[in-house]
Structure 1
Amino acid sequence: MTSRPYQMCTRCVMDTSDADISFDADGVCSHCHKFDTVQRPQWRPDEEGARLWAAKLDEIRAKGQGKEYDCIVGLSGGVDSSYLALKAVEWKLRPLVVHVDAGWNSELATANIERVVKHCGYDLHTVVIDWPEMRDLQLAYLKAGVANQDVPQDHAFFANLYRFAIDNDVKYILAGGNIASESVIASSWEGSAMDAIGLKAIHSRYGSGKLKKYRTISFFDYYINYPILKGMRPLRPLNFMPYGKQIAIDELTKIGWRPYGRKHGESRFTKLFQNYYLPTKFGYDKRRTHLSSLILSGDITKDEAMKDLAKPLYDAAELESDIRYFCKKLNITEIEFHGYVGEPNRYYTEFPNWDSRRALVKHAQDVVGRLLGKHVTVYS
């Protein structure tokens, strides 16, 4: 890969650490242009958004009549999913609330989940992932040396979420993902967490056992079976209302929920992965995508984002403690851990993956979209 001169966007804080980024004559990046042309029209924090979501709520309630649950809400304990759980009470929905425990919950995350569930009066269904299999899979990813070390956790979360939906005949899955704080994604930094082909390929090469209990979502399920044959629909309600992190935190703290101090602080694995592994091994600072999203949604200014970026990712003593915990839990030495970080970088494209199949599906969606005269997006 040929290097190019360093450049940062004149509007957001994305830079050339994203190999796929491009800039116009004014120095504005491709992420900003995508936000303006693709994502901004889908973000409706206005009266029209309220009207659209009210109509969708009527649809959810109608299709849920006679069933124990009318939707699924995945609860991680993070800001977005916790706030969504609060709103579901306001909307008088009857959600099946699911938490997937992959073994890395912080104590604060566990406490926050309990506070939300108790306040809302929900029954919580917790799936505890088989730890020996999760450990084996996460070690395989470390040995593979790829950027997205969070795939084993993320894939398990969604695979179990959709399995609960199938088992309970629920058609709607409410997710906390939102354009206001997550519009910017650097695809060059990671492969899709839903790519079971890539996950199994990495485990086959570097794992030491078989994944007998670990659930996966196949390509067929993700693009055909769940959305088309079974009619399941993922929804992102936070895109239809005024939303910002501070709005959510202000509401959540009223019920005793406590903020983490950093994005994805609910997972001790993700904390170390995003704030040490990625910037040290690949030069990727995930704060850039998050802060750029907040700039584009008008939540913060670029100057404020630059001040955040100037802060250290880790306190030295905290980093030492987190690495020690990480290595003990995975049963490796700190020398082994630093060895994995120092190994040559690999990219998910060096392993079998679903990219070619996904490209065919996207092409088919584009063709159907042109025939119908509207944007078509169908997947779980």
Structure 2
Amino acid sequence: MSTATTFSEDRVATTQCTRCVLTDEDIPDFQVDEAGVCSTCIGFAERWGRHLKTRESREAKLEEAIRMVKEAGRDSRYDCVIGISGGVDSTYLAWKINQLGLRPIAVHFDNGWNSELAVQNIQSLTSKLKIDLMTFVVDWPEFRDLQRAYFRASVVDIEVPTDHGIYGTLFQTAVRHNVRYVLGGNNIATEGFMPNGWHYQKCDHINLLDIHRKFGTQPLKTYPLFDCRMKKSVAKRGVELLEILDLIEYSREEAVSVISGELNWRDYGVKHGESTFTKFYQGFVLPRKFGIDKRKAHLSTLIGTGELTREGALEILAKPVYSPSELRVEREYVLKKLGFTDAEFDTIMATPPRPHRDYETEGSLFYEHRWLLPARPIWEKTRDLLGLRRRPRPNHFEIR
């Protein structure tokens, strides 16, 4: 078997994929073939190959999608809803649909962690494209309590409170304005490479509520929960999510060039740098507590699509996300904003990770049979004693 070998800090030999930048330190069930290519790479290559073969059909689907959006919204002020974060994908999506003649209402979920540059990029985008912007400013005490709960729950996807809130806000806006289509910026070209266990279903409100029930202290009165009532309302009104970027020839390099030139968009230096929290979460919390460097997934995607060489990706990974002085400042800021002392945060970081399925999920016993709720405390105690675990049911709104 031909594999590349590197050494970690404690000089333990590590098997590394010869195509992407993943190693057996990144994934517990890491496997490579005879050529040293990992199973995650192989899976992505198959999906990317199928994606490339559907070019003509995607063009036809795009034309049909634009026709449907315009037709459904011909008598309304807006014909679609889009999310705006200030990042590359959402900014390019806004520019693209503007070119296609759509009339969106842009939604921004302000969770209190926007970088100053993100605010500037959003203002520049909406001003130049003359797009109406609706900003949902989250109730900070509520949202901080929810984020603190996710830290204490010790689950890997601490971004769920933000991502769930974004989807809740998008679909609530669509229902409120009687808009049929929500246009999303998720895409295989820049986000299609994600190892199992590195994230969780963003719209599982049962998991979110159970984590908050166990570790939160404040009621969620204004948080835009994407719950059963909202999901039923979305289904009843026929609101659909269309991932437009998967229907075009999408390249991150070209997208950056376009939005920089057309919209005066300025780069953050790292993916998702528009959020101070996301940068700290991906640049410090994930690597230190969970052994996950999410840059490897993002860079491996670009390797798989041919936008970046493996050598180029390794050069990027060799550079730390933070300098020691910058990390000290960022850590102090994040902990103070979240209300954690150094000792509390150190304890959280030292607590062993727990899978999301340790908590209630959509499809679990008490979600399907609400009349059993009074017996939940007894069941939870018995489950923990016996070491039983639940399997989550696939979510219809799962995000890659």
Q: Is the TM value for this pair above 0.5?
A: yes
> 301-310 or 33-42: which moved more?
33-42
Stretches of structure 1 that go unaligned for 5 or more consecutive residues are: 363-376
Q: Does 1:325 align with 2:361?
A: no
**Residue 355 of structure 2 corresponds to which residue in structure 1?**
347
In 1, the alpha carbon distance for the partners of 2:398 and 2:150 equals 26
Report the Cα offset of residue 239 of structure 1. Answer: 1.8
Measured in 1, the distance between the counterparts of 2:277 and 2:105 equals 26
The equivalent position to 1:281 in structure 2, one of 266, 283, 289, is: 289
| Residue 69 (structure 1) aligns with | 78
1:307 aligns with 2:315: yes
- Alignment RMSD, CA only? 2.4
Partner of 2:5: none
Please name the residue that 2:136 is paired with.
Answer: 127
Are residues 1:236 and 2:232 paired?
Answer: no
Q: Which of residues 52, 59, 78 is equivalent to 2:61?
A: 52
The answer for the alignment partner of 2:186 in structure 1 is: 177
Q: Trace 1:74-153 onto structure 2 (pairs within 5 A).
A: 74-153=83-162
- Distance in 1 separating the partners of 2:143 and 2:49: 37
2:43 maps to 1:34: yes
Contact 2:48/2:305 (8 A) holds in 1: no
Query: Could you tell me the TM-score, scaled by structure 2's length?
Result: 0.84
| 2:22 aligned residue (11, 14, 31) | 14
Q: Secondary structure at the match of 2:95?
A: helix
- Counterparts of 1:291 and 1:122 in 2: how far apart (Å)? 32
Partner-residue secondary structure (3-state), 1:35 = helix
Distance 2:290 2:214 in 1: 22
Question: What percent of counterpart residues are identical?
Answer: 38
1:275-298 Cα distance to aligned partner (Å, 9 max, x none): 000001111000111011111111
CA offset digits 1:290-321 (Å, max 9, x no partner):
01111111111111111111111211111111
Tell me the distance in 2 between the aligned counterparts of 1:90 and 1:6: 48
Alignment of 1:169-208 (within 5 A): 169-208=178-217
Shift of 1:75: 0.4
Look up the match of 1:367: none
Query: 1:306–1:196: structure 2 CA closer, same or farther, 3 Å change rule?
Result: same
Q: Report the Cα offset of residue 338 of structure 1.
A: 2.4
Cα 1:20–1:94, aligned 2, differ >3 Å: closer, same or farther? farther
Q: Is the 8 A contact 1:44 1:239 kept in 2?
A: no
Structure 1 counterpart of 2:253: 246
Q: Match of 2:148, as an amino acid?
A: L
Shift of 1:6: 3.8
Q: CA deviation at 1:11?
A: 1.7
Secondary structure of the structure 1 residue equivalent to 2:81: strand
- Separation (CA, whole Å) in 2 of partners of 1:316 and 1:378: 39
Specify whether residues 225 and 378 from structure 1 end up closer, same or farther in structure 2 by C-alpha distance, changes over 3 A only.
farther
**Residue 23 and residue 305 in structure 1: after superposition, are their counterparts in 2 closer, same or farther (change >3 A)?**
same
2:169 alignment partner, SS class: helix
Change (3 A) 1:138 1:378: closer
What residue identity is the alignment partner of 1:158?
Answer: Y
Letter in 2 for 1:27: G
Q: Deviations over 1:210-248 (max 9, x none)?
A: 1111121236755x663x533222112222222222211
| 1:365 corresponds to | none
The code of the aligned residue for 1:307 comes to: E
C-alpha distance in 2 between matches for 1:274 and 1:378: 23
Q: Tell me by how many angstroms 1:153 deviates.
A: 0.9
Q: Matched residue pairs, number?
A: 361
Q: Which has the higher contact order (CA 8 A, sep 6+)?
A: 1
Q: Using the TM superposition, name which of 298-307 and 264-273 deviates more.
A: 298-307
| Aligned residue identity for 2:248 | M
Q: Indicate how the Cα distance of structure 1 residues 361 and 136 shifts in structure 2: closer, same or farther if over 3 A, else same.
A: closer
Which amino acid in 2 is paired with 1:56?
Answer: A
Amino acid at match of 1:66: D
The residue type paired with residue 309 of structure 1 is L
Asked if 2 retains the 8 angstrom alpha-carbon contact of 1:45 and 1:240, the reply is no
User: Which of 260, 270, 279 is equivalent to 1:262?
Assistant: 270
Q: Between 236-245 and 59-68, report the one with greater CA deviation.
A: 236-245
Could you tell me which amino acid in structure 1 is paired with residue 22 of structure 2?
M
Q: Within 2, Cα distance between the matches of 1:337 and 1:288?
A: 25
Runs of 4+ in 1 over 4 A off after TM superposition: 43-48, 219-222, 355-362, 377-380
Q: Given residue 162 of structure 2, which amino acid in structure 1 is its aligned partner?
A: Q
CA distance in structure 2 between the partners assigned to 1:280 and 1:49 by the alignment: 41
After TM superposition, give the deviation of residue 160 of structure 1 in Å: 0.8
Shift of 1:119: 0.4
Partners of 1:304 and 1:220 in 2: how far apart? 47
| Residue 147 (structure 1) shift | 1.4
CA distance in 1, matches of 2:18, 2:228: 38
